[in-house]
């Protein structure tokens, strides 16, 4: 199983390199189901792994002129504030035992996995769905942005990042294309920078609560494997049809999301 886990770790980076998102969608199931890490702690690991990998992948995108910093700030600042508030107040406030009605018992770890599975299914449908062609490669002026929508999306992504350790690339990419009017290539580069900032700041926010539980050697090993994958993803994205890859990846995520929902549902029934 460990060998499979290391292969999936590389796939995390490949996904980020190809489509600018999807890394956390693989990271949480990898940590929870293959390496047996508690779902709450897995969100902390995920933030570090996805954040570090996205940062390494975003740097070459920036040097190639494929990052729109003005949009990144417009989206990123509200998102970062949302991450900090969520990790500091909302996530710790969720009780270990959320709800008990007769034999029905909903715990915090199960709740987080159910929420994450729902996000996976939403992300998969977003990836599979046909989209209108992106605008031509150009840089939009700040006055052209639908500012309120971008900032609102940033707050939502920050909330999700803080709760379930997801970088939110599946929400960031559509927002940058639809509201920021960015072409796909620039949206991918900008998304990596936003994911890196959100995830790493979210990790620092959760570090105080989980410092003694973290296996640093393990976490860094998975991160290095994911970083190697992002360079593979960059190469693939140059040669293969990005839309076709995204749809196939979306179908895989849809299956995984349904499997997690069923697995966690069985856990609730057995409690």
Residue whose structure tokens are 């940058």: 176
String of b and e for 103-136 (b: at least 16 CB within 10 Å)? Answer: eebbbbbbbbbbbbbebbbebbebbeeeeeeeee
- Predicted confidence at residue 239, as pLDDT, reads 75
Closest CA to 44 of 180, 176, 222: 222
Confidence of residue 271 (pLDDT cuts 50, 70, 90): low
Residue 248 has pLDDT above 80, yes or no: no
Least confident of 133-142, 206-215, 223-232: 133-142
Residue 134 has pLDDT above 50, yes or no: no
Confidence of residue 25 (pLDDT cuts 50, 70, 90): confident
- Predicted confidence at residue 123, as pLDDT, reads 73
Domain boundaries, the chain: 2-270
Least confident of 176-180, 198-202, 253-257: 176-180
Residue 24 has pLDDT above 60, yes or no: yes
Give the chain's mean pLDDT. Answer: 83
For the segment 81-118, what is each residue's pLDDT rounded down to a tens digit?
998 898 888 988 889 888 887 777 788 888 888 888 88
Residue 135 has pLDDT above 70, yes or no: no
- Predicted confidence at residue 119, as pLDDT, reads 80
For the segment 53-84, what is each residue's pLDDT rounded down to a tens digit?
999 999 998 999 989 998 899 998 999 999 88
Name the phi and psi angles at 36, rounded to 5.
70, 30
Residue 2 has pLDDT above 70, yes or no: yes
Tokens of 146: 């639908």
Q: pTM of the prediction?
A: 0.76
For the segment 28-52, what is each residue's pLDDT rounded down to a tens digit?
889 999 999 998 899 899 999 999 9
């Amino acid at each position: 199983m460990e060998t499979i886990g290391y292969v999936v770790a590389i796939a995390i980076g490949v996904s980020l390199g190809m489509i600018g998102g999807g890394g956390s969608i693989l990271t949480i199931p990898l940590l929870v189901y293959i390496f047996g890490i508690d779902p709450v702690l897995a969100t902390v690991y995920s933030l570090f792994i996805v954040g570090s990998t996205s940062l390494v992948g975003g740097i070459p995108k920036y040097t190639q002129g494929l990052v729109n910093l003005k949009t990144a700030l417009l989206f990123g600042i509200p998102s970062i504030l949302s991450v900090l508030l969520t990790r500091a107040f909302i996530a710790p406030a969720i009780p270990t035992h959320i709800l008990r009605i007769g034999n029905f018992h909903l715990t915090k770890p199960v709740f987080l996995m159910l929420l994450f599975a729902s996000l996976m299914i939403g992300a998969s449908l977003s990836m599979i769905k046909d989209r209108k062609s992106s605008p031509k490669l150009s840089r939009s002026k700040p006055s052209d942005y639908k500012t309120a929508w971008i900032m609102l999306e940033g707050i939502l992504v920050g909330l999700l990042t803080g709760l379930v350790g997801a970088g939110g690339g599946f929400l960031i990419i559509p927002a940058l294309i639809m509201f920021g009017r960015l072409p796909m290539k620039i949206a991918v580069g900008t998304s990596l920078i936003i994911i890196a900032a959100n995830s790493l700041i979210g990790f620092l926010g959760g570090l105080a609560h989980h410092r003694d539980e973290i296996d640093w050697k393990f976490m860094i090993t998975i991160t290095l494997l994911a970083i190697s994958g992002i360079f593979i993803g960059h190469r693939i994205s140059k040669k293969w049809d990005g839309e076709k890859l995204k749809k196939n990846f979306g179908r895989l995520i849809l299956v995984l999301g349904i499997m997690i929902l069923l697995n966690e549902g069985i856990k609730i029934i057995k409690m």
